Amino acid sequence: MRILLFEDSSTDQLAPITVSRPAYAITCASYRLIDWVRRMNASIAGEVRAYLQPIQQADFADLQSPADWQQGSEPVLAINARCVPSIENFQAFQRIAARQNSGIVKSGHDVAAILLMPQDLIRSKSLPGTSVSQQMMAVDGIAPIDESVAMFDWPHEVVRWHMQLMNASLEDRIAQGNYEQREDGVFLAPGAKIGDYAVIDTSEGPILLDENVTVGPFCYLSGPVYAGPGTRVIEHAALKDGVSLGHTVKIGGEVEASVIEPYTNKQHHGFLGHSYLGSWINLGAGTCNSDLKNTYGRINIEYDDRKMATEMQFLGCIVGDYSKSAINTGIFTGKVIGVCSMLYGFVTQNVPSFMNYAQIFGQVAEIPADVMVATQARMFARRKVQQRQCDIDLIRAMYDQTSSQREQVDHSEIF
């Protein structure tokens, strides 16, 4: 069996989350789709947007090129990279992979997965399409498969699925991982430590601290909570109601029902709730977001010029990689912050990528890519991470990819 993870034309709808990463690398409830697929005992290839191919080669070295996959004697299971990283989806993929005949699974109008036997792969090679996945989907006569596979369509759905999946994902981690149960519902990997006077509540879900996680004194942990390897939870922090922290995160203040990707810092006091933060973000002291309307009503969210009803009563912010907030920044309910932006004061509207945003002072200006390349170098050096050419190239590519977001912005000077 060979597995192809492919991005489709709707991947851009998940921006800013997917501006800087393949869709299969979105964290939700502590897992990424690639984590589940790697369990399937198969060779894996990745088909991503062209500008992300160098990052895929550097950060996902086990993924092969799909260029020659239409040949060979093994079936190919192509999985949409927007599929939710859930146990249910993983089990569905296992059932699909075990089939003896070609078939296709759709989620609405989108292809969630397609399985082709070798004879159908040979047929697909001669069909039109700019990618292997498109050629696979062009094969006629492929029967539908009766499986339900959930997919991400919009960024806020990552937060919604995170809240639904967190307990099941942590139960799987406990079953699969090397954890010592320190007390009822509290699981520590080697090197993990909890400081004195911590208050722990596992009545709604477990607490999992991965390798070398440190929790400072006087912290409050209310499950389900997962902290990735090397993460530091600052003294007096409160993590509750479903928090997933990536590796090498520094976290403080109050965090509720949120996903935080690796290398992000929120060290100081301030509230973060029902939100998604990408990687290499820094939230300044006192930064808070709102995740509930004053009317207690359902929250609407805007993506570019499209306004959408989320049907969620609680929804905070979606923040892209490398963005930063100044001291005492306030982010209003359901706001979307692009990659590589700087926030000051009150954030009352969505912020495009590569923007200095201080709208409360009447000042908004574009950030050149070179400024973010230099900022990236300083951040990496603080974490003893080598800045590679592919990291620099990614910043420049993201600047180009998001240029249309900044065309309608008033570029007045901020400094």
- CA terminus-to-terminus distance, the chain: 57
Q: Last residue of a domain, which of 103, 137, 171?
A: 137
Per-residue pLDDT band for 413 (boundaries 50, 70, 90) equals very low
Q: Which stretches within 118-207 are classed as H helix? A: 118-124, 132-137, 156-176
**Per-residue confidence (pLDDT) for residue 264, from 0 to 100:** 98
Average pLDDT over residues 65-80: 81
> Looking at the domain assignment, is residue 387 inside a domain?
yes
> Looking at the domain assignment, is residue 147 inside a domain?
no
Say what the pTM is: 0.95
Per-residue pLDDT band for 70 (boundaries 50, 70, 90) equals low
Distance CA 323, CA 278 (A): 8
> Looking at the domain assignment, is residue 142 inside a domain?
no
> Looking at the domain assignment, is residue 324 inside a domain?
yes
12: Cβ–Cβ under 8 A, 6 or more apart, which residues? Answer: 18
**Per-residue confidence (pLDDT) for residue 69, from 0 to 100:** 63
User: Do residues 311 and 199 both lie within one domain?
Assistant: yes
> Looking at the domain assignment, is residue 149 inside a domain?
no
> Helix, strand, or coil here: 272?
strand
Residue burial 56-86, b: 16+ Cβ < 10 Å; e: rest: beeebeebbebeebbeeeebbbbbbbbbbbb
Average pLDDT over residues 261-282: 98
Average pLDDT over residues 315-332: 98
CATH of the domain at 111: 3.90.550.10
**Per-residue confidence (pLDDT) for residue 359, from 0 to 100:** 84
> Looking at the domain assignment, is residue 57 inside a domain?
yes
User: Do residues 391 and 282 both lie within one domain?
Assistant: yes
Note the pLDDT tens digit of each residue in 88-117.
Answer: 999 999 999 999 999 999 999 999 999 999
Average pLDDT over residues 134-143: 91
Distance CA 31, CA 22 (A): 14
Pairwise pLDDT comparison (135 vs 67), residue with the higher score: 135
Sign (positive or negative) of CA dihedral 152, 156, 158, 161: negative
**Per-residue confidence (pLDDT) for residue 68, from 0 to 100:** 61
**Per-residue confidence (pLDDT) for residue 125, from 0 to 100:** 78
Distance CA 124, CA 70 (A): 7
**Per-residue confidence (pLDDT) for residue 372, from 0 to 100:** 98
User: Do residues 271 and 214 both lie within one domain?
Assistant: yes
Give the angle subtended at the CA of 275 by the CAs of 410 and 195, to the nearest 5°: 130
Which residue's structure tokens are 């951040």? 379
Residue burial 318-327, b: 16+ Cβ < 10 Å; e: rest: bbbbbbbbbe
> Looking at the domain assignment, is residue 360 inside a domain?
yes
Note the pLDDT tens digit of each residue in 359-406.
Answer: 878 889 999 999 999 999 999 999 999 999 999 999 999 999 999 988
User: Do residues 24 and 165 both lie within one domain?
Assistant: no
Q: Last residue of a domain, which of 104, 137, 170?
A: 137
User: Do residues 61 and 163 both lie within one domain?
Assistant: no
> Looking at the domain assignment, is residue 333 inside a domain?
yes
User: Do residues 201 and 250 both lie within one domain?
Assistant: yes
Stretch among 52-56, 58-62, 291-295, 407-411 having the lowest mean pLDDT? 407-411
CB atoms within 10 A of CB 392: 16
Note the pLDDT tens digit of each residue in 223-236.
Answer: 999 999 999 999 99
Stretch among 17-26, 70-79, 200-209, 242-251 having the lowest mean pLDDT? 70-79
Give me 301's structure tokens: 């969210």
Average pLDDT over residues 114-126: 88
**Per-residue confidence (pLDDT) for residue 73, from 0 to 100:** 77
User: Do residues 107 and 204 both lie within one domain?
Assistant: no
Which stretch, 124-133, 186-195, 362-371, has highest mean pLDDT?
186-195
User: Do residues 129 and 222 both lie within one domain?
Assistant: no
User: Do residues 13 and 93 both lie within one domain?
Assistant: yes
Domain that residue 60 falls in: 2-137
User: Do residues 112 and 170 both lie within one domain?
Assistant: no
User: Do residues 327 and 372 both lie within one domain?
Assistant: yes
Q: Which of 198, 205, 223, 206 is nearest to 214 (CA)?
A: 198
**Per-residue confidence (pLDDT) for residue 412, from 0 to 100:** 47
CB 9 within 8 A of CB 23: no
**Per-residue confidence (pLDDT) for residue 415, from 0 to 100:** 36
**Per-residue confidence (pLDDT) for residue 128, from 0 to 100:** 77
Average pLDDT along the chain: 95
> Which region, left, alpha or beta, applies to residue 230 given φ > 0 means left and ψ of -120 to 50 means alpha?
left
CB 218 within 8 A of CB 233: no
Instruction: Report the number of distinct structural domains present in the chain.
Output: 2
CATH of the domain at 349: 2.160.10.10
**Per-residue confidence (pLDDT) for residue 10, from 0 to 100:** 97
User: Do residues 305 and 208 both lie within one domain?
Assistant: yes
**Per-residue confidence (pLDDT) for residue 414, from 0 to 100:** 38
